[in-house]
């Protein structure tokens, strides 16, 4: 699997290079050329994900790097789909290589955190949560690009990376569309957790639950502020990144502590 993961990384890096090299082109054919290597990489990674996450016997392995690979893969899929309708392939310059690196790490440092899924409802809850995380991560990337674009325009330096991006208004509209979908999936994940997880505030889940709820409240406030008061610009960017930090800490923070710090201390 390591060879396939390295091949997917090469394809992702090639796609990122093509996006950079043909910066500013709005041609649909050029866009397809830019994205074709990334599409090939995501197909390879779909096969790798099945091997990494479903080791067999109704088990699910969502160790740290496996989960990072899955979320990165979903983000790349979202970029590929969105780029069919809008010139958003520039988001792949950063995300495509990072996704490739995550897969190399997942195959080079395999996780032994497999567990048996007790029911299909629990499996659905987990996948909805992962989709929510990926949408919010993509929103955070979009918010960072928007912040960079806004700063460059205000400082009268609209060249460089800015020439890759759609107009500011389109970027902002897309950001709130992503946040809206992410909020829906996060709400569904929290509600399904209430019904299908026996104790959301058990010792091993309490940090994840509390941080996720805080992130949900921040997102709800931001979306309400956008609807009621027309929040935009720096305020939208700050609230988006704050929500992202809490939600990513809810999942990756707890996994990092449990898998790499607590486990290593136990082994010592």
Q: What is the DSSP secondary structure assignment for residue 75, as one 8-state letter?
A: H
Sign (positive or negative) of CA dihedral 151, 153, 155, 159: positive
Which pLDDT band, with edges at 50, 70 and 90, does 267 fall under?
A: very low
Burial class (CB in 10 A: 0-12, 13-18, 19+), 45: buried
pLDDT at 264 over 70: no
β-bridge partners, 61: 114
Backbone dihedral angles phi then psi of residue 63, each to the nearest 5 degrees: -65, 175
The per-residue pLDDT for 257 is 54
Mean predicted lDDT score pLDDT of the chain: 84
The per-residue pLDDT for 201 is 57
Contact criterion met (CB below 8 Å) for 209 and 249? no
Contact criterion met (CB below 8 Å) for 52 and 73? no
The per-residue pLDDT for 127 is 84
User: What distance lies between CA 139 and its chain's CA centroid?
Assistant: 8
Contact criterion met (CB below 8 Å) for 122 and 197? yes
Contact criterion met (CB below 8 Å) for 22 and 30? yes
Q: Which residue has the higher pLDDT, 207 or 89?
A: 89
pLDDT digits (tens, 9 = 90+) for 26-69: 777 888 999 999 999 999 999 999 999 887 767 788 888 888 89
The per-residue pLDDT for 18 is 94
Contact criterion met (CB below 8 Å) for 109 and 63? no
SS3 27: coil
Backbone dihedral angles phi then psi of residue 79, each to the nearest 5 degrees: -65, -45
The per-residue pLDDT for 104 is 95
Of the candidates 36, 118, 63, which has an alpha carbon nearest to the alpha carbon of residue 259? 63
pLDDT at 265 over 50: no
Alpha-carbon distance of 94 to 237, in angstroms, equals: 18
The per-residue pLDDT for 198 is 62
Average pLDDT on 123-140 reads 87
pLDDT digits (tens, 9 = 90+) for 142-185: 899 888 888 887 887 666 666 667 778 878 888 998 899 999 99
> What percentage of residues in the chain have a pLDDT greater than 70?
84
Q: What are the Cα distances from residue 99, in Å, to 53, 159, 166?
A: 16, 27, 23
Alpha-carbon distance of 210 to 216, in angstroms, equals: 10
Return the axis-axis angle of helices 28-53 and 92-108, rounded to nearest 10°: 20
Which pLDDT band, with edges at 50, 70 and 90, does 97 fall under?
A: very high
Alpha-carbon distance of 48 to 71, in angstroms, equals: 14
Alpha-carbon distance of 73 to 127, in angstroms, equals: 13
The per-residue pLDDT for 255 is 59
pLDDT at 266 over 50: no
């Amino acid at each position: 699997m390591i060879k396939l993961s390295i091949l997917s990384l090469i394809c992702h890096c090639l796609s990122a290079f093509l996006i950079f090299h043909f910066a500013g082109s709005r041609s649909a054919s050029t866009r397809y050329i830019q994205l074709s290597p990334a599409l090939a990489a995501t197909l390879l990674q779909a096969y790798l994900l099945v091997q990494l996450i479903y080791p067999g016997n109704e088990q699910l392995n969502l160790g740290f790097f496996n989960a990072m690979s899955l979320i990165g893969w979903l983000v790349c899929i979202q970029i590929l789909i969105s780029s069919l309708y809008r010139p958003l392939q520039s988001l792949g310059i950063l995300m495509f290589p990072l996704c490739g690196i995550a897969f190399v790490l997942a195959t080079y440092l395999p996780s032994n955190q497999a567990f048996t899924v007790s029911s299909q409802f629990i499996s659905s809850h987990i996948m909805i949560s992962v989709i929510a995380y990926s949408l919010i991560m993509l929103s955070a990337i979009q918010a960072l690009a928007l912040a960079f674009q806004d700063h460059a325009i205000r400082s009268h330096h609209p060249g460089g990376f800015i020439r890759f991006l759609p107009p500011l208004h389109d970027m902002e509209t897309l950001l709130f569309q992503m946040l809206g979908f992410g909020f829906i999936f996060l709400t569904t994940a929290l509600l399904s957790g209430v019904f299908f997880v026996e104790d959301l505030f058990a010792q091993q889940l309490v940090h994840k639950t509390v941080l996720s709820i805080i992130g949900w409240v921040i997102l709800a406030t931001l979306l309400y502020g956008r609807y009621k008061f027309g929040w935009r610009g720096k305020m939208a960017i700050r609230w988006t990144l704050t929500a992202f930090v809490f939600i990513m800490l809810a999942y990756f923070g707890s996994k990092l502590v449990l898998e790499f710090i607590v486990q290593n201390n136990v082994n010592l």
